[in-house]
Every structure is written in structure tokens, then in C-alpha cells.
Amino acid sequence: MSQWLNKVIDDATKVQDYLAPVRQQALEHLRAEGWPTGRNEAWRFTPLSSLKEREAAIDQLDSAVASKVESIPGVDSIDIVFIDGQLVSDLSALTLPAGLQIHSLTNATQTQQTEITALFGAVKPTRHLFGLVNDALCQQGIYIEVQQSAKIDTPVRIVNLATQDTDAHTRVLVNMQNNSQCSIIEYGSGTEQSFTTAFAEYRIGESASLEHYRFAFFTELAKQVGGSHFSLHDNARLNSTLVGYGSELSRVDVDIIHAGEHAKAKMNAIYLLGEGELFDLHSTIEHAMPNGTTEENARGIVGDRARAVFNGRIHIHRDAQKTLAELNNRNLLLSRRGIINTKPELEIYADDVQCAHGATVAEIEEQALYYLLSRGIKRSKALVMLNFGFIQELVNAIPNPAIRDWLLPLLSKRFESMEVK
Amino acid sequence: MLKINNLHARVEEKTILNGVNLEIKPGEVHAIMGPNGAGKSTLGYVLSGREGYEVLEGDVTFNNEALFDMEIEERASNGLFLAFQYPVEIPGVSNMEFMKESVNAVREQQGLEPLSAAEFLKSAKEACKQVQLPLDFLKRGVNEGFSGGEKKRNEIMQMILLKPSLCILDESDSGLDIDALQVVANGVNSQRDDKRSFIVITHYQRLLDFIKPDFVHILANGKIVKSGDASLALKVEKEGYAFLGKEFEGVEA
């Protein structure tokens, strides 16, 4: 057992609110599972030692300040900000378009509590260790409802900042009624010693369409473990883009569950890891129903002594005939001391399906680099030209042009600062 | 322009250059000939700064500056250009993007403003026509799927656009038919003036029918063993390398 997990369980038993029954279940799982050992496949390549003996978080926090969060140029988003796990935005002051409702988990009315309880833990599978921690301990969070046939053009951005040494657990629940549309951006960042869990569950109703982003920009000492979990009903559409940097411990789990027929999911993931960073992406696509389509592309560049872990599982259930599923993971190593553990997994129980998967790891091509240098092109620029292209392709596929224009220079700047060794 | 003084160099564990001395003045064209394995291509790579080519002894100055203190890209932006014997294919980077970056990197070094996309396109189209490549070659990946001759012409196109002060042509004639050879030679000749210098590395004298050298040097066993004027190339063509000594008897030019 770990000192940190013992404290979590201890703290969680004291939490008393309307979510108690779900929290109780999570605690039982946690007690039964215990701290993951090296044999636990979900954590085989991602060391948790920095967390295992972590001292209890500081009890007295500096009061969180709703400092101005930088906006994404050209994206006039509805911003909801958590700082060190505290919701600092005044939800009552938000002007929301018709058909969109946002409530805090803590100040929910009786009716809202019923809706929240119905979605809380309904999409996210119980196998995620830190998802259980979040179930048991999250105090703050929001519930977003998009009403039937509502088309919300303004993106909702949920910002999670880690600024001081504390454990912070936040939760986002999104309930999209049939035929609705919206765009949600989960943005997290921090550099200071801290531990954050941020889990989001999305119920995408029949013929509803979600444009989703998750930016896991935690670096240095900011540890974060989180997940985005989606359940797609008949004819639902999901377009998701995930971008990850690495820190002492940074891990994102994604589950895409085809709970209805004819749903379409597209997910692109990009990770860019600087010196010594760690990023771990586990994705699971569950095709439980027939006629679903999934396309997943994960591409990453891994710097000196950095480690990327990718596990992509596609599970096609016996009844999920006519499924089309593709999963691809491409990696570029900038140094012999970088590590990539990639594992695509296909598990197919239906016979009439089309499935493809693949994973590659490449190194810098010396000859091509020499050729560009010999024409006067600076080394950093040459590396961008040679290697950034396959990442840029995924950035170009982002449906919102303003987000694309904001992200591209951010990533190319980060890439240019990464050294080839 | 370029002074090579007692240059010794090795690749992996093998010493290839054994004391090369050569001085090139502005406006001069020097041909370097020699049997296979003499070190001709190695000399080009060492001067351009390719990794894995280790200088053991000697020094080189380029415009009175120590060449070996410069990075590969600095040598290039200061005016040194190597036309590759085997140009590298780079799928995913367009020829146009590649050449625009190169030209602007060199301009930056010279304190000039970068060319706009339109300005660059205009000069690239002209250069492309001059080496008789179809214009769609500008859009294709760098050397991607080009034939041997097309790659050589692409090198000459880059030379025309970059306007280097010292060009090293590494067997730019190999594998070319007579028409392509003329295109390459005309490209080079169009760039000759009293300030720009050329090192023409070749196996065959026939290129030198089109590019008239001021000096011809014979490189053998990593050293320049004989220097002369253009007539030396004709002598090699006729007699082979037997005049270098017993071990070169029967080695054809």
C-alpha cells in the first residue's frame, strides 16, 4: 500500500454529500485494488514512485485568485476556471446561450442532484485507479447540459490550473441531449509541485455532435492524471483532439464507448515531450453496437531521456458487426536515450468488421538533415521541416481554425526548443 | 578565397586524405580528377562539414576565416555550396519550401531582407526553366522520385538560386547523357564571373570540354600528386593514370 493512497482513503471516508453512494463504491474498489504493482498492465511503463510516498497535501491553501486566464485568440469561449481544485468562476455571472446550462456540483438543487448522480461514474469505467480516487474525493466540479436540438456555437472552456503544492480533484459531467451540438475545451496546466486529477464524462445523445479538445499542458513537477470518457448513442458524432506535454507524471485515459449504432468517432492525439518528461496516453475504444466507425491517430515526438507510453485498445464486441476501426501510432525519437512504449491492441469478437492498427518509431534521418544544413538552413529550422510535418498534419485537421492557429506556433516553438542528441 | 593547407582526414577508422594542399583564388575554376577511392568526394564532404568526416591535421581558410570553426549551415550561408553526387530524397518537404528556406537563410547572413513568396516564386521559376526541369518539380518533395539526371539538374538549380561564392561540384556529370551534361555545364557557365570560384570533381574529361578549367589537379592516395592546366585532363583521358606510377597502370580515366 502507499502512504498517499492510505491518506486518500482516510480523507474520502469523511466526505459526506449526495454522491455518497457512488463514492462508497469507489472506495470499496480502491481498497480491493490497492496500489498498482509492476504486474499491473495499466501502469507497467509509468512509474508512480513520485506519488506513492507523497506527503499529504497542504491543508491551508493560499486563497485561489481568479487571475485572468489567457484566452485563445479568436475563440470567444465561455470560461470556467478551477485553480488548485477550487472553482473560482462565478457561474451565476455567466451569460449562457439558450439551450446551455452549467451548474456547480456543490450548489446543486434537488433536481440537479438527481441528474448529476445519474451521470457521475456512468461513462467512466471503474478500472481507472485515479478515476476512483476522483470519484471518492472530488469536491468541486461542474455539470453541463445541452438541451435537445440546441446548437451551441460558443465553445465552453474548462481551465484547470495547478499553482501550489496540493492535491486537487475536479470533475466535469456533460450531458448532451439528442440532436444537440457543442464544443468543449478541457485545458490544464501547471509547473509547480502538485497533484491533480481531472476526469470528464460525456454522454453524447442520439444524433448529437461534440467537438472536443483536451490540452494537458502540465510540465516539470506538476503531476496530473485524468481522463475524458465518452459514450456515443445512435448516430452520435465525436471529434476529439488531445495534446499532451510531459511532466514528472502526466497520464490521460480516454474511453470512447459506442453505446448506440451508426456512431462516428475521430480522435487525434499529439504529444511533444521535452527533456526528461513523461506522458502516458491510454485509450480504449469499445464497439458494443453495430455499424460504428472509429479513427484514432496518435503521433508524438520524444526528446532526450523522455518517455512516451501509448496504449491503444480497440475492443469489438460480438454484436458490433460492420464496425470500421482504425488506430495508428507514430513516434519520432530525438535521442537514443528517449523511450517509447507503444502497444496497439485489437480484440475482435465480431466477424464482419474492418480493422487496422499500426505503430512505428523512427529516428532523425542524418542524411536528410545534413542536406538541409548544407544549404544554409539553421539546424532548428531543418529539424522542424523534417520532423514537424507529421504532427502538423494532425494540427491541420483541427476543425476550429482559431484553435489551429493558436496551437501551431505553440507546438513548433516547443519543438524548436527540444534538442536532438 | 579558399586555402587548404596540409589537410589530413579520416572516415570511421580509415584515413582518406593525406596532406592536401590547394589554393583557389576568386574567379578560378579548378578541376580535380583521380582514380576511384582517391579521396575526391571525401574532400567535398570535409569542406562542407559532413558528420563522420574527421579532420586529423591541417587547416582550411575560407575568405580568411577558419572553415573548421564554422557549423555546416554557417559554411553554406557564408557562400560554400556542395552539389551532391547523390542528392538526398526528402519526401514531405517540398522543393519550393526547401529552396525558399535556403535562399532566405543565406540572405539573412548577408543582411538582406527575406524574399516574399511571390519574389521567390519568380526567381525559382526562372532557375527551373534554365535547368530545363518542368515547373511542377518545384512542388514535388525534395528529389522525391527524380531520376539521376533530374537530381543533378535540381542541384544546379539550387546553385543558381543560392549564388554561392565557392561551388564544389561532386561528379555532377556522372550518369548524364550528353544533353543533360550540356544543361548542367551551361548552368555552371552562366554563374562564372571574376568573383566566384568552382571546384569541379570529375572522373571524366568530357565535362571539362564544356566547363573550361583554369587548373587541373590529380588526386591519388589522398594527395594532389600533379597539377597543370586543361591539357593535363586530356593527357589523363588519353593515357589513363599510368604516369602516376606502377600501381596505377591499367587504371582508366
Q: Highest-confidence range of A21-25, A383-387, B202-206, by mean pLDDT?
A: A21-25
C-alpha cell at position A183 = 464544443
Give tens-digit pLDDT for A275-298.
Answer: 999 999 999 999 999 999 999 999
So what's the pLDDT on residue A366?
A: 87
Average pLDDT over residues A317-345: 94
φ/ψ of A346, rounded to 5, equals -120, 130
Measured distance CA(B186)–CA(B113) in Å, rounded = 29
So what's the pLDDT on residue A237?
A: 98
Measured distance CA(B228)–CA(B225) in Å, rounded = 10
H/E segment holding residue A227 = strand A222-232
Average pLDDT over residues A188-211: 97
Angle, CA B196 vertex, CA B190 and CA B200 arms, to 5°: 75
C-alpha cell at position B102 = 535556403
Q: Over the range A306-319, which residues count as b (16 or more CB within 10 Å of their CB) and which as e? A: bbbbbbbbbbbbee
Question: Rounded to whole angstroms, what are the CA distances from B252 to B33, B53, B203, B232, B238?
Answer: 12, 28, 10, 15, 9
Q: How far is B176 from chain A (nearest CA, A)?
A: 22
Measured distance CA(A332)–CA(A302) in Å, rounded = 6
**Sequence-separated (6 or more) residues with CB below 8 Å from residue B111:** none
Indicate whether A66 pLDDT > 60: no
A140 bridge partner residues: A170
Cβ A321 vs Cβ A292: under 8 Å: no
**Sequence-separated (6 or more) residues with CB below 8 Å from residue A263:** A204, A232, A233, A234, A235, A236, A237, A238, A289, A292, A293
Q: Do B98 and A375 touch (CB under 8 A)?
A: yes
* Confidence grade of residue A65 (pLDDT, cut at 50, 70, 90): low
Q: Which amino acid is present at A140?
A: Q
Q: Do B105 and A376 touch (CB under 8 A)?
A: yes
φ/ψ of A270, rounded to 5, equals -130, 130
- Say whether residue A349 is in contact with chain B using an 8 A CB cutoff: no
Q: How far is A364 from chain B (nearest CA, A)?
A: 12
Residue A114 within a domain: yes
Residue A421 within a domain: no
Angle, CA A218 vertex, CA A212 and CA A221 arms, to 5°: 160
So what's the pLDDT on residue B41?
A: 93
Taking alpha carbons only, the member of A122, A369, A152 closest to residue A255 is: A122
Question: Rounded to whole angstroms, what are the CA distances from A100 to A81, A209, B122?
Answer: 18, 14, 53
Q: Which of A373, A383, A412, A420 to mutate to test the interface with B (most CBs of B within 10 A)?
A: A373
Measured distance CA(A86)–CA(A77) in Å, rounded = 20
Indicate whether A68 pLDDT > 80: no
Question: CA Rg, chain B, in Å?
Answer: 18
3 state DSSP class of B64: coil
Residue A92 within a domain: yes
Indicate whether A416 pLDDT > 90: no
Angle, CA B106 vertex, CA B105 and CA B109 arms, to 5°: 90
So what's the pLDDT on residue A78?
A: 96
Q: How far is A411 from chain B (nearest CA, A)?
A: 18
Residue of A nearest to B161 (CA): A375
Q: Do A381 and B105 touch (CB under 8 A)?
A: yes
What are the E-state strand segments in chain B?
Answer: 2-11, 14-24, 29-33, 53-62, 65-66, 80-83, 90-94, 141-142, 166-170, 197-201, 215-220, 223-228
φ/ψ of B210, rounded to 5, equals -100, -35
Question: CA Rg, chain A, in Å?
Answer: 21
Q: Do B51 and A389 touch (CB under 8 A)?
A: no
Which pairing describes strands A181-190 and A156-162: parallel, antiparallel, or unpaired? Answer: parallel
Identity of the residue in A368, A370, A390 whose CB atom sits nearest the CB atom of B51: A370
Contacts of B105 in chain A (CB under 8 A): 375-378, 381
ipTM of the shown complex: 0.94
Q: How far is B76 from chain A (nearest CA, A)?
A: 5
Give tens-digit pLDDT for B27-59.
Answer: 999 999 998 888 999 999 999 999 999 999 999
Indicate whether A58 pLDDT > 80: no
Contacts of A390 in chain B (CB under 8 A): 92
A330 bridge partner residues: A299, A360
φ/ψ of A322, rounded to 5, equals 60, 25
Cβ A205 vs Cβ A176: under 8 Å: yes
**Sequence-separated (6 or more) residues with CB below 8 Å from residue B233:** B31, B33, B205, B208, B213, B216
Which pairing describes strands B141-142 and B90-94: parallel, antiparallel, or unpaired? Answer: antiparallel
* Confidence grade of residue A364 (pLDDT, cut at 50, 70, 90): confident
* Confidence grade of residue B250 (pLDDT, cut at 50, 70, 90): low
Half-sphere exposure of A301 (CA within 13 A, CB side): 22
Measured distance CA(B124)–CA(A365) in Å, rounded = 27
Q: How many domains does one find in chain A?
A: 1
Place of cell 485515459: A253
Indicate whether B253 pLDDT > 70: no
What angle in degrees, to the nearest 10, is found between the helix axes of B117-130 and B178-191?
130
Average pLDDT over residues B214-222: 94
Give tens-digit pLDDT for B85-115.
Answer: 999 998 778 899 999 999 999 999 999 999 9
So what's the pLDDT on residue A82?
A: 95
So what's the pLDDT on residue B249?
A: 65
Q: Which of B90, B154, B168 to mutate to test the interface with A (most CBs of A within 10 A)?
A: B90
- Say whether residue B67 is in contact with chain A using an 8 A CB cutoff: no
* Host domain of residue A318: 3-416
- Say whether residue B11 is in contact with chain A using an 8 A CB cutoff: no
Q: Do A375 and B50 touch (CB under 8 A)?
A: no
C-alpha cell at position A60 = 491551508
Residue A25 within a domain: yes
C-alpha cell at position A337 = 536515450
Q: How far is A384 from chain B (nearest CA, A)?
A: 10
Q: Which of A366, A372, A421 to mutate to test the interface with B (most CBs of B within 10 A)?
A: A372
Number of Cβ within 10 Å of residue B145's Cβ equals 9
Cβ A24 vs Cβ A13: under 8 Å: no
What are the E-state strand segments in B48-165?
Answer: 53-62, 65-66, 80-83, 90-94, 141-142
So what's the pLDDT on residue A151?
A: 98
What are the E-state strand segments in B111-253?
Answer: 141-142, 166-170, 197-201, 215-220, 223-228
Q: Phi/psi class of residue B39: alpha, beta or left (left: φ > 0; alpha: ψ in -120 to 50)?
A: left
Indicate whether A57 pLDDT > 70: no
Contacts of A378 in chain B (CB under 8 A): 73, 105
The span from the first CA to the last CA of chain A, in angstroms, equals 39
Average pLDDT over residues A59-67: 59
Residue of B nearest to A371 (CA): B88
Taking alpha carbons only, the member of A415, A368, A362 closest to residue A388 is: A415
Query: What HEC string does A354-383 produce?
Result: EEEEEEEEEECCHHHHHHHHCCCCCHHHHH
Give tens-digit pLDDT for A7-32.
Answer: 889 989 888 899 999 999 999 999 99
Q: Do A385 and B82 touch (CB under 8 A)?
A: no
**Average pLDDT for chain A:** 93
Contacts of B81 in chain A (CB under 8 A): 374-375
* Confidence grade of residue B126 (pLDDT, cut at 50, 70, 90): very high
Q: How far is B103 from chain A (nearest CA, A)?
A: 8
Q: Report how many Cβ contacts below 8 Å link chain A to chain B.
A: 72
Taking alpha carbons only, the member of A256, A213, A141 closest to residue A404 is: A213
- Say whether residue A377 is in contact with chain B using an 8 A CB cutoff: yes
Indicate whether A101 pLDDT > 90: yes
Identity of the residue in A366, A379, A390 whose CB atom sits nearest the CB atom of B73: A379
Give tens-digit pLDDT for B223-238.
Answer: 999 999 999 998 888 8
Give tens-digit pLDDT for A225-264.
Answer: 999 999 999 999 999 999 999 999 999 999 999 999 999 9
- Lowest model confidence (mean pLDDT) among A248-257, B42-51, B164-173, B175-184: B175-184
| Cα-to-chain-centroid distance, residue A421 | 29
Residue of B nearest to A366 (CA): B51
Residue A328 within a domain: yes
Q: How far is B228 from chain A (nearest CA, A)?
A: 30
Residue of A nearest to B144 (CA): A368
So what's the pLDDT on residue B204?
A: 83
* 3.30.390.30, 3.40.50.300, 3.30.365.10, 2.30.42.10: CATH of B2-248: 3.40.50.300
3 state DSSP class of B116: coil
Measured distance CA(A52)–CA(A50) in Å, rounded = 6
More confident residue, A135 or A390: A135
Which pairing describes strands B90-94 and A167-176: parallel, antiparallel, or unpaired? Answer: unpaired
So what's the pLDDT on residue A393?
A: 84
Identity of the residue in B76, B87, B88 whose CB atom sits nearest the CB atom of A376: B76
